[in-house]
Amino acid sequence: MPRYANQTNVPADRSRSEIERTLTRYGADSFMCGTRGSTTAVQFEVNGRRIFFRLELPNPDSLEYTHSSTGRVRRSQAQALEAWEQACRQRWRALALIVKVKLEPVEAGISSFELEFLPYTVLPNGGTVGDWALPQIALVYETGQMPPMLPMLPG
């Protein structure tokens, strides 16, 4: 199945600006975007809720970009750079789509902001609900056992 926006020409900075404009239009009162290495953080606040998206950008040295699709022919430096930039543009377009797809049902009254952004909601320890819940959900499925309702009370 082809990736969404895998042929896009929209520059990454334009997608980032679009995300910020969309969030502002839907009531975000703060917005932050920063990069460390290959990870970009997009964070914003709406109604006192802090939301955090982690966007992992591809490694430009990956064979996916330095070599042809068969892996047998090495691309020129310019071709490898273009393939990598295309992958970055695609990921930014996908993030812009996610933000819009989550905000529209909120605006239409079909869903709530809290429900749509639940896994990305930042907890007081700096992690997200998704970071906290996913390992617990995996354990429940692995063991078939629900955790106790009040684990802090003696049995």
Biggest alpha carbon–alpha carbon distance for the chain: 66
Task: For 89-140, write each residue's pLDDT tens digit.
Answer: 999 999 999 999 999 999 999 999 999 999 999 999 999 999 999 998 999 9
Say how many domains are in the chain.
Answer: 1
Q: Report DSSP letters for 14-73, one per residue.
A: HHHHHHHHHHHHTT-SEEEEEEETTEEEEEEEETTEEEEEEEEPPPTTSHHHHB-TTSSS
User: Residue 18 falls within a domain, yes or no?
Assistant: yes
Answer whether residue 6 is part of any domain: no
Instruction: Name residue 129's beta-bridge partners.
Output: none
Residue 147 pLDDT level (bands cut at 50, 70, 90): confident
Convert the pLDDT of each residue in 6-44 to its tens digit.
Answer: 889 999 999 999 999 999 999 999 999 999 999 999 999
**Residue 149 included in any domain:** no
* Residue 151: predicted pLDDT: 61
Residue 155 binned pLDDT confidence (cut-offs 50, 70, 90): low
Is 5 inside a domain boundary? no
Query: What are 104's two structure tokens?
Result: 């529209």
* 152 is a domain residue: no
Tell whether 134 is covered by a domain.
yes
Residue 59 maps to a domain: yes
Domain ranges, residue 72:
12-143
Residue 94 inside a domain? The answer is yes
